[in-house]
Structure 1
Amino acid sequence: MNVLVLLSGILFMLMAIIGGKKGIRSFIALFLNFGVIVVLLFFMNDPTLNPVILTLIACVFISCINLFYINEVNWTTKTAFYATIVTTIVLVIFISFITNSAMIQGFGEEETEEMGMFSFYIGLDFVKIAVSVIIMSTIGAITDAAIAIASPMREMHIHHPRIERKELFYFGLSIGRDILGTSTNTLFFAFFGGYLALLIWFKDLSYTFGEIFNSKVFSSELITICCAAIGVTLVIPVTAWITAYFLTRKKTDIIS
């Protein structure tokens, strides 16, 4: 507990010194997002409620916290929010199809031994739970990519107010191409960093590459990474188009 308090204090000091007021709001946003997740888990215990719908509602709150609370309400955060919601809805449909096809819900055989003493008859749909897990794993990366594209597009529009919608759209795409590689690699290394012990365990058990890739634990996490990467890729053109549309429409409204 003392270590957690110490690390939290160091994090708060660094975020306050480097980020200023936004850094302090970002630190508070961590606890607000944690509160949203706790409430989500509480409602997920009710079998009558759809976990996917609850997760979508939680994603809306998380997006509002990450965008509007930290960066305030402006054209940048509004367009990033719209792009995040549109991309998340499209991704939910895609993830639902993939989860049903790949059958990655539930627990793998590597996990059942440790959980054998517990009952799995908890009255919840594990397919929907798997969809919710993947959505929650992608929402942070999607909002991060959306604001990273919308912000420089707004700056470009401020300095070049006569820029055409098509040119502004392609400018947003060029920014998205620059951050796409780093964003997907971040997701990739986050997975291998978190599951390095599992990979070492696979090696000690003399798993073949085929057994590793076909194990439910490994494949489910790898599918999560792929879905998150698809979400980050998809949000680039969505954010570029929505931002270009709203900024140029705003200019047209002012002129008219």
Structure 2
Amino acid sequence: MLLVAKKDGIRNLLGLGFNFIAIFMLITMMAWGIPLLILLPIFTFIILALSIYMSSDDGDTTNIAFKTSLIVVFVLGIFTIFVQYIGQFQGFSAENADELENLSLAVGLNFSNVAISMMAISMLGAVAEAAMAIVANLFEVIEQDEAMTLNQFQAQRTMITQQILGTAINTLFFGVLGSSVGLVLWFVRLDYSLAQIINSKLLMADVASMLLGMLGILFSIILAGHFVEKKFNLDLTNK
């Protein structure tokens, strides 16, 4: 990052460091027993702000990306609570039994809240990245053609949306697939049935996080593109 982006790379590295500190503080405060409904909105705002505003100094781009990310994460945050209620991904699984045999499970934590936090945090990066990517690309297209009409912009928006959507979802899918290879091999070698695999907390928690991330990417791209188009149309009207 330092070799390629130079000063921007330093800013991005600082943002990464601050986000690490923020997540560490979130985990610590959860361990102290502070309610999730207080912690998660605060730290979601902080993490998104650091991720977006530390990655670019273009005010229009970052403002639209940040607004989009907040809306998408808020909506999917509510959906995450519903997913956790249906899936019951909290706690430990049978595959963890050997590691936990000599340990006490009376740690005084609501593991349902831990599962919700895990799914919410895992989608923040995907949402922020997708929003920044579509907004930056659309503004670049507008800057390159000052005589662009609204119809031309909409055609460009559709093309860029398709490209970013496919790439971002593939990246998320293969990331989750790669992290779950060992678990899948475990299932195969121990002859797990399909029902056992579907009811595995470890695997289904990763799948749920992946699907939420994919929805976040989809909604971010659509909503961010709408905001940029609205601003572009307003600028055309003012001309």
Same fold (TM over 0.5): yes
Q: Over residues 189-232 of structure 1, what are the superposed CA-to-partner deviations in whole Å (9 max), with x where a residue is unaligned?
A: 11121122222222222212332222111111111111111111
Distance in 2, Cα, partners of 1:157 & 1:64 = 25
The question of 1:25 aligning with 2:11 is answered yes
The question of 1:132 aligning with 2:117 is answered yes
Asked whether the 8 Å contact 1:153–1:172 carries over to 2, the reply is yes
The question of 1:46 aligning with 2:26 is answered no
Q: Residue 66 of structure 1: SS of its match in structure 2?
A: helix
Distance in 2, Cα, partners of 1:251 & 1:124 = 54
Map 1:51-200 onto structure 2 (within 5 A): 51-161=36-146, 163=148, 168=153, 171-200=156-185
Q: Over residues 160-189 of structure 1, what are the superposed CA-to-partner deviations in whole Å (9 max), with x where a residue is unaligned?
A: 446566764553343121121221121121
Distance in 2, Cα, partners of 1:26 & 1:128 = 30
TM-score between the two structures when normalised by the length of structure 1: 0.84
For residues 104 and 165 of structure 1, do their structure 2 counterparts lie closer, same or farther at Cα, with a shift above 3 Å needed? farther
Q: 2:213 is matched by which residue type in structure 1?
A: A
Structure 2: gaps spanning 5 or more residues: none
Distance in 2, Cα, partners of 1:73 & 1:122 = 45
Q: Over residues 64-110 of structure 1, what are the superposed CA-to-partner deviations in whole Å (9 max), with x where a residue is unaligned?
A: 22221221251011100100000000111111111101111211111
Q: CA deviation at 1:116?
A: 3.2
- Bigger shift: 171-180 or 234-243? 171-180
Match of 1:7 in 2: none
Structure 1: gaps spanning 5 or more residues: 1-14
Distance in 1, Cα, partners of 2:102 & 2:41 = 32
Distance in 1, Cα, partners of 2:91 & 2:120 = 16
Q: Residue 224 of structure 2: SS of its match in structure 1?
A: helix
Distance in 2, Cα, partners of 1:18 & 1:71 = 15
Q: 1:129 is matched by which residue type in structure 2?
A: V
Task: Report sequence identity in percent.
Answer: 28
For residues 169 and 122 of structure 1, do their structure 2 counterparts lie closer, same or farther at Cα, with a shift above 3 Å needed? farther
Map 1:232-243 onto structure 2 (within 5 A): 232-243=217-228
Asked whether the 8 Å contact 1:145–1:235 carries over to 2, the reply is yes
Distance in 2, Cα, partners of 1:108 & 1:232 = 29
Distance in 2, Cα, partners of 1:52 & 1:197 = 34
For residues 99 and 165 of structure 1, do their structure 2 counterparts lie closer, same or farther at Cα, with a shift above 3 Å needed? farther
